[in-house]
Chains A and B, each alone.
Chain A
Amino acid sequence: MTALLEVEDLRTSFKVESGRFQAVDGIDLRLEAGRTLGVVGESGCGKSVTALSIMGLVASPPGEVAAAKIRFEGRDLLALSADAMRDLRGDRLAMIFQEPMTSLNPAFTVGDQIAEAIQRHRGLDRAAAWARAVEMLRRVHIPAAEARAHDYPHKLSGGMRQRVMIAMALALDPKLLIADEPTTALDVTVQAQILDLLRRLRAESGMAILIITHDLGVIAELADDVTVMYAGKVVERAPVEALFEAPQHPYTIGLLGSIPRLEREQARLDAIEGVVPNPLSPPAGCRFHPRCPFAEARCREAEPGLGPVGPSHFAACWRTPLP
């Protein structure tokens, strides 16, 4: 079966004053139609750059996207013209961002913004596009959608804006929705509403979702498969049950230990010390070794490759399988 999205050996670099660095350093992703893939990792690990690279939204210069393959519905996105890519975006392939205001235009009402996108891609007349926009606002559970369609974005709460973003992204029935930290700036209650909404819309439309987050709790709620990224690389990949039941990479284990648990008291959280390395000077050997309690001499010298550790389960660590 051919995948909906296939990414092979994606390498995205940026030129800065002191040289060029690799923000994403050779990663593979694969997503089947209707499935949900979670990409998780700390801030600065290259998650957003991965998403923007797929969407063709990395500004060049300073960015440069290289890959052996980026295929969506069998089409080679690397070979598409800028115009063809623009037609695809917002249509078959849509994206929502952490901060909804970055993609909402403060000068237009939310109804106008959604209707405009529908008109441009589908050639509907104004009235039909507006009706569809209101219908979309209703589908994302915006109360009094007809009235709200006339509001400007700044009048809406954070949760409402994120709903509007989702309505806009889904207005054209995309096959793939890329959601980059869609709930990170929100209260837990609004986060629960948005995750529930994404689950429901996914069931209705059969779209696939690529969800990006630093929170494994969100991954557990939504994803079928998980890719864990650290410092521009994939360090673990597994079906969601296997990842949570038998995580193999120390980084994944550390991320799980960082989460304060609702169901038990803890004197102390098992936090990962330190921070993600500066991509201009990544550590030699395994990039996680300065923060890894399992590190050995070889970890500082040679870089481990991504190898099988179970059915459809891969990890990049010299010490796996960990007992």
Chain B
Amino acid sequence: MTAPLLEARGLVKHFPVRRGLFGRVSGQVRAVDEIDFTLAKGETLALVGESGCGKSTTGRLVLRLIEPTAGEVRFEGQAVFDLSDGQVRALRRKMQIVFQDPYASLNPRMTVGEILSEPLALHDLAPAAERPARVERLLREVGLAPDHARRYPHEFSGGQRQRIGIARALAVEPALIVCDEPVSALDVSIQAQVLNLLKALQGRFGLAYVFIAHDLAVVRHVADRVAVMYLGKIVEQAPTKALFAAPRHPYTRALLSAIPVPSPKARRNRVILEGDVPSPIDPPPGCRFHTRCAYAVPRCKTEAPALVERAGHAVACHRADELPAESPVPRAERGPGAERLARLQAAFSQGRE
């Protein structure tokens, strides 16, 4: 087996909590707490979980935008946290990030052309004379027009700005892009366009993605493998097919159950996950999910379940084998209505009937 493109081992990030600006450290935010994962070239690993589960922190660690508390990340075999500043700059050529809020991440005073030329200059990828042609190609690549290069970010819609953010990431021809909720702020229709774009680019350039999301329906569509995070821990990790065929962690099931199904017939008797994610400053003892888990037993309050792998499907739950067989993933609809709809919808992909 070839070495993975990316490998994280025992990754930990704790943020100190201080009283006041220079006050004493009074606790730790345990944003990421010992997680492991790997990612092969051209593959997509999704990190899924509710707000505050540590997904973005993991993404920032991978890129070494922040320093870890413990653990290791290897990219193409190199230990990322041991690199010198110069080596980190070289690393940024190979690893890029796309953010949820494209507006906040684009300099409002630069034209799109300038935004896309900047990484080319920074990494010496193209002499000044060649940059306009490269910018033009990048714009076409992400479905924008060459004359968009002269405009400013505020002149674009949310979806177009996200395309600009993707073009900027692509400029350096990276091997890996961390996509941090790239479609969460977009309308369903624009979300679909951007997801299709990300998949097409992956096919064309052999990109690997760490895809951060809170919506498992989106994840099913883009990921090869899924890691479900809760309060800084990975609670379930599996190939996408296996996860959707038989989700085994109560938290994963709750996330699945929460997704609205676009069919009034399917209005489900869902398990509503009550309350918010507890504070990561003082996470619950034992299984961190026990305060919200419908299956919790006394043991869950004291004993943390280990992440146990069986045939590539890892789960951290004492009761994973005792959960009801019924899956929270609804069945696909069949029948003449569904067939007609599929046929008509396909016209949108083909651009004609």
Contact = CB atoms under 8 A, between A and B. Distances in A.
A294 B346 CA distance: 11
A294 B348 CA distance: 9
Interface in B54-75: none
B221 A220 contact: no
Given A220-B264, A268-B199, A160 B276 contact: yes
B242 interface: no
A187 B50 contact: yes
A309 B158 CA distance: 35
Contacts of A188: 214-216, 255, 258-259
Contacts of B333: 263
Given A220-B266, A262-B329, A193 B261 contact: no
A195 B193 CA distance: 27
Given A240-B264, A275-B159, A262 B217 contact: yes
A250 B190 CA distance: 16
Given A262-B216, A271-B192, A193 B274 contact: yes
Contact of A293 (B272, B337, B352): B352
A157 interface: yes
Contact of B254 (A189, A246, A253): A189
A217 B260 contact: yes
Contact of A259 (B50, B158, B217, B331): B217
Given A263-B329, A271-B196, A255 B261 contact: no
A220 B216 contact: no
Contacts, number: 179
Interface in B151-188: 157-160, 187-188
A186 to B, nearest CB: 9
B196 A187 contact: no
B129 interface: no
B265 A241 contact: yes
A221 B270 CA distance: 11
A215 B260 contact: yes
B51 A158 contact: yes
A220 B261 contact: yes
B350 interface: yes
A273 interface: yes
Contact of A254 (B189, B218, B352): B189
A188 B199 CA distance: 23
B275 interface: yes
Contacts of A159: 276
Contacts of B310: none
Contacts of B199: 268
Contact of B260 (A143, A191, A254): A191
B267 interface: yes
Chain B interface size band reads 35 or more
Contact of B272 (A193, A256, A258): A193
A189 B330 CA distance: 17
A72 B256 CA distance: 39
Interface in B231-267: 241, 244, 254-267
B256 A262 contact: yes
A169 to B, nearest CB: 21
Interface in B316-346: 329-333, 337, 340-341, 344-346
Contact of A269 (B196, B256, B273): B196
A229 to B, nearest CB: 13
A293 B347 contact: yes
Interface string A73-103: 0000000000000000000000000000000
Interface string A222-234: 0100000000000
Interface in B18-34: none
Interface centre among B50, B189, B192, B215 (most CB of A within 10 A): B189
B220 A260 contact: yes
B204 to A, nearest CB: 14
Given A215-B260, A246-B337, A258 B330 contact: no
A270 B348 contact: yes
Interface string A189-222: 1111101100000000000000000111111110
Nearest to A239: B264
B349 A270 contact: yes
A254 B337 CA distance: 15
B353 interface: yes
A244 B188 contact: no
Contacts of A158: 51
Contact of A263 (B157, B195, B214, B332): B332
Contacts of A250: 344, 347
B214 A261 contact: no
B264 A241 contact: yes
B192 A189 contact: no
B51 A221 contact: no
B150 to A, nearest CB: 19
Contacts of A43: 158, 187, 190
B353 A263 contact: no
Given A260-B221, A272-B192, 12 more contacts: A187-B51, A188-B259, A189-B50, A190-B276, A192-B258, A193-B273, A196-B270, A220-B266, A255-B189, A261-B220, A271-B196, A272-B193
Q: Which 9 residue pairs across A and B have the least CB separation, nearest first?
A: A217-B260, A257-B345, A271-B192, A258-B192, A192-B258, A293-B347, A270-B345, A269-B192, A260-B221
7 contacts: A158-B51, A220-B266, A260-B221, A263-B329, A268-B196, A270-B345, A271-B192
